[in-house]
Amino acid sequence: MSELSVPTGAAPPDVPAGCEVARVARVDRGLLTVLTATGEHRVRLGGALHDESAPAVGDWVAVRGELAVRLLPRRTAFVRTAAGRGSAPQVVAANVDLVLVVDSLVGDARLRRVERYLAVAWASGATPVVVLTKADVCPDVPAAVARVAEDAVGVEVLAVSAVSGAGLGALQSLLTPGSTAAMVGPSGVGKSSLANALAGRPVAATAEIREDGRGRHTTTARELHLLPGGGLLIDTPGMRELALPGGEGLDTTYADVAGLAADCRFRDCAHRTEPGCAVAAAIDRGELDPARFTAWRKLQAEAHRQELRADARARALEHQRVRALHREMRARPARPHR
C-alpha cells in the first residue's frame, strides 16, 4: 500500500474535465489495470479506445468512473509490426524515457546483438543505456565494458550484478523519480533478476522459478512496477519479444556507417564494387570495421523486409518501383566500365 502515494510519472496535461489521469500498468483484452494517485484500479476500455487508440502499458489515459475514456498523447512508443498478415503496427509500451538494453557479460561477444537492440531503442524515441549483467562471474569487467562502449557510441554502458549488487546504485541513479524505464534483451541474460533487484521485491519470475513450473502470475501481475527510488520499470512480454523496427534507429546507432554511405558517389550505391564508394574506402583505410559494416547492411535489409511485410501498400509501391527500374535499365545504354 505504501506504493500508492508514489507518483506514477509525469502525466500529459490534456485531461478532459471530470476525469482522473491514470497510468496503464497492464492490458487484458478490454480491461486495463491502471495506477492513479489513489492506487491500483481495474477499468474497462471506453468505445473510443479501440483499434489505433488502444492503450499500451505505460500509456496515460483519462478515466471517468470505471471507464477509460481517452488516450492521452504519447511521448515515446515501442512499436511492433505483427508478423505476416500486413496488419497495423502495435504499440507494446508507451512513454518510456530510458531503455535498458540488457545483455550478459557471460559468454561470447554480444556487440552485434547490443547494436541491434540499440537501434530498436533509438527508434522508440527513448534514450538507451546498455546494462551488462552477471558482473560477478565475469573475469575482466572493465575490458568487457570497454569493448561494448567502443561500439555503442554516445550510450552509457553499465556493468551490474543482481547477485552481488555491484553497479546497481549507478543504475538506480539513472531511474529518477517519475521517469520510466523498460528492459529489452534476449532471454536468459538476467532481466527478471534485474527487475527484482531494482524493485527490492519479487516482481518478475526468474529462470529458476519459471522452470519450477509455477510460472508468472500472468493473470494478475502488473507490468509497470514502481521502484523504491520513485522511478518506474516496464517489463512486458511484448518488450521482451521486440523485433527490429524500421531504419530510423539504425541510422542513429550506425551514424558512422550511414554518414559514409551518404558520401558515396552513387545515391543507390550497394557498397560492393561501385566506384566512389565511401564505405569501401573507409574499410580499405582501416577506419571502418568490416564486421560493423556487414551488421549494418544485414539490419538494413531486415528492417526493409519488415517494413514491406507490415505494409501492403509499400509492397505494391515496391513492385512498381522495381518494374520502373527494370524499364529504365532496359532503356538505358550500358555504362562503360572504368
- Yes or no: say if 274 and 265 are a contact pair by the CB < 8 Å rule: yes
- Yes or no: say if 30 and 22 are a contact pair by the CB < 8 Å rule: no
- Asked if residue 271 belongs to a known ligand binding site, the reply is yes
Residue choice 38, 87, 176, 187 for contact with ligand GDP (CB under 6 A): 187
Helix H segments across 101-213? 111-124, 141-151, 168-174, 191-199, 207-211
106 bridge partner residues: none
Partner from ligand GDP, Zn ion, none contacting 133, C-beta within 5 to 8 A by type = ligand GDP
277 near Zn ion, rule: CB under 5 A: yes
- Yes or no: say if 111 and 81 are a contact pair by the CB < 8 Å rule: no
Which residue, 23 or 134, is less far from ligand GDP as judged by CB? 134
- Yes or no: say if 114 and 130 are a contact pair by the CB < 8 Å rule: yes
Partner from Zn ion, ligand GDP, none contacting 277, C-beta within 5 to 8 A by type = Zn ion
193 near ligand GDP, rule: CB under 6 A: yes
Q: How is residue 141 annotated by DSSP?
A: H
207 near ligand GDP, rule: CB under 6 A: yes
Partner from Zn ion, ligand GDP, none contacting 187, C-beta within 5 to 8 A by type = ligand GDP
Which residue, 190 or 249, is less far from ligand GDP as judged by CB? 190
- Asked if residue 134 belongs to a known ligand binding site, the reply is yes
DSSP assignment of 260-313:
HHHTSSSTT--SSS-TT-HHHHHHHTT-S-HHHHHHHHHHHHHHHHHHHHH-HH
279 near Zn ion, rule: CB under 5 A: yes
DSSP assignment of 201-264:
S--S--HHHHHTT----TTT--SEEE-TTS-EEE--HHHHT-----THHHHHHTHHHHHHHHTS
- Asked if residue 135 belongs to a known ligand binding site, the reply is yes
Q: Give min distance, CB of 136 to ligand GDP, in A.
A: 5
295 near ligand GDP, rule: CB under 6 A: no
180 near ligand GDP, rule: CB under 6 A: no
For residue 165, give every residue at least 6 positions away whose Cβ sits within 8 Å of its Cβ, in sequence order, or none: 197
Binding span for ligand GDP by CB under 6 A among 32-40, 65-73, 130-138, 273-281: 130-138
Map residues 144-173 to x or -, x wherever contact with ligand GDP holds by CB under 6 A: -----------------xxx----------
Binding span for ligand GDP by CB under 6 A among 7-15, 19-27, 168-176, 183-191: 183-191
Positions touching ligand GDP (CB under 6 A) are 133-134, 136-137, 161-163, 187-193, 206-208
| Residue ranges of the binding site | 133-136, 185-193, 264, 269, 271, 277
